[in-house]
Amino acid sequence: MKNKKITTAAILATSFFLTACGGGGSGGDDSEGGAPPPAGTALNAGAGAPTGAEGSCGATTTGVNWDALMTEICPKLSDYNLFADATDPTTAPARGGVPYDLSTALFSDYTSKYRFIFVPEGKTISYNASEVLEFPVGTVITKTFALPENTAVRDGEELVIETRLLIHRSDGWFALPYYWSSDSDAVLAIAGKRLTDLTTINNQGQQITFDYSVPKAGDCSSCHSIVPNLSGSGDDREQIFLPIGPKARYLNKDYAYADGTVYNQLQFMAEGELLTGLPFDLQTVEKAPVFNDQVPVASLAPSQLDDAARAYLDINCAHCHRADLTLPTDYAGPAGSSGVQLEYNRDYADSPGKFGVCKTPVAGGKDGYPFDVIPGNAAESYLLFRMTTDDNRHKMPELARNTAHLEGTALIRSWIDQLPVASCSPVP
């Protein structure tokens, strides 16, 4: 691990973040990037090719070591040459790397996240209106997790813990976790890593102490895999591994790039010839609300509260709790069969039961919490209990958190309490 102070570059007050290996969370992002590119300038141009031993870890390259990324499991993060400074994965990606963040918080134990997308020269990302963007083979997504000393001061001292890679190889997506065991490099952590007694101070000034888990490489599929709905069988039920966070609705926001330029992320990628298919009118592109630790829940109007709560449940829960609404292949998440299906584009008014309203828990349950969601009664709603408890038998998400997100649970508590009061039928 390395302890460092990161100097941010004009981060928007409305910014917040996304994706990989079951995680996400709150925090600022000071990733490097340029001004909006001139028309016709490709963001991934000149990304480089190996000039040393082809495909070998640590080969001397003029840029990203694409051969190693596509063929090797390297022992050190620096072997892939993804960053200009191999000791700092939070800024200055190698040429071709594009920073991004997300509008709604994907929580991972209060860590700040620094995210970059790398796409090989000549390839492009395809726009998708509701699902994750369609990344070409060769894409690499990096996400670095750093725990701030104080979550209210995201540009202060922080502990850089891990960098996760999602690599789109010819046979599908491949996940690799790297743990920062020193200031100089991160080492492969296939078996994961558990750090004990980490501390931070939250926005309320409270000190929080908890353990932190770097996931096993094999754990990533538990959150990143979608499967055909239960009507499928045999070969029809093959899992598909996908990123979670980089959906258009969470990228449809302004980002403050390293030179201080503020620009819409989707438009930036489209004008840089990295993203194709983006509608000309950005007003037609779905836009999730901004919600992070700095957004006071009490300040949200009822419609804003509903929107923020559904977006929060979507990005934190719906990768598992979903039954696909749009794709003809009709895929669902691993927990779609629970009956709780929390996609942002699902209409609450049409199916409140899909959001847990007056639905009896099917995954064990707990005395005192008869329904997943009881409108007007968050205190006895099992969904909220699962978000606040650290008991492994009940907590949700099952991975990616070892402490409760106080600001996120305050949002969901307020949302449940303001739902129109309904009388749920008693449990038989």
Helical spans, DSSP H, in 13-156: 66-71
Nearest 5°: phi and psi at 215? Answer: -70, 155
The larger pLDDT score, comparing residue 223 to residue 56, is at: 56
The DSSP code for 398 is: S
Q: How far is CA 247 from CA 27, 42, 98, in A?
A: 19, 21, 15
**Residue with the larger pLDDT of the pair 397 and 251:** 251
pLDDT digits (tens, 9 = 90+) for 103-141: 998 999 999 999 999 999 999 999 999 889 999 999 999
Q: How many residues does the chain have?
A: 428
Residue 406 reports pLDDT greater than 80? yes
| DSSP letters for 80-103 | G--BSSTT-TTS-BSTTEEEE--S
Q: How far apart are CA 143 and CA 100, in angstroms?
A: 10
Query: Looking at this protein, which amino acid is placed at residue 216?
Result: K
Instruction: Determine the Cα–Cα distance for residues 312 and 318; give it in Å rounded to an integer.
Output: 9
Q: Which pLDDT belongs to residue 234?
A: 45
Give the mean model confidence (pLDDT) for residues 74-85: 96
Residue-wise pLDDT for 205-262, tens only, equals: 999 999 999 988 766 655 655 665 544 444 455 667 778 889 999 999 999 988 888 9
Check residue 224 and give its pLDDT.
Answer: 58
pTM (global) more than 0.95: no
326-331: Cβ within 8 A, 24+ apart: 326/129, 326/130, 326/131, 327/131, 329/228, 330/228, 330/229, 330/231, 331/226, 331/227, 331/228, 331/229, 331/240
List, for residues 347-396, the tens digit of each pLDDT value.
888 889 999 999 998 877 888 999 999 999 999 999 999 999 988 888 88
**C-alpha–C-alpha distance, residues 225 and 414, integer Å:** 31
Alpha carbons 16 and 375: distance in angstroms, whole number: 29
pLDDT at 17: 26
pLDDT over threshold 80, residue 8: no
pLDDT, the chain, mean: 83
Angstrom distance (rounded) from CA 394 to CA 413: 17
- pLDDT, one tens digit per residue, over 152-165 is 888 889 999 999 99
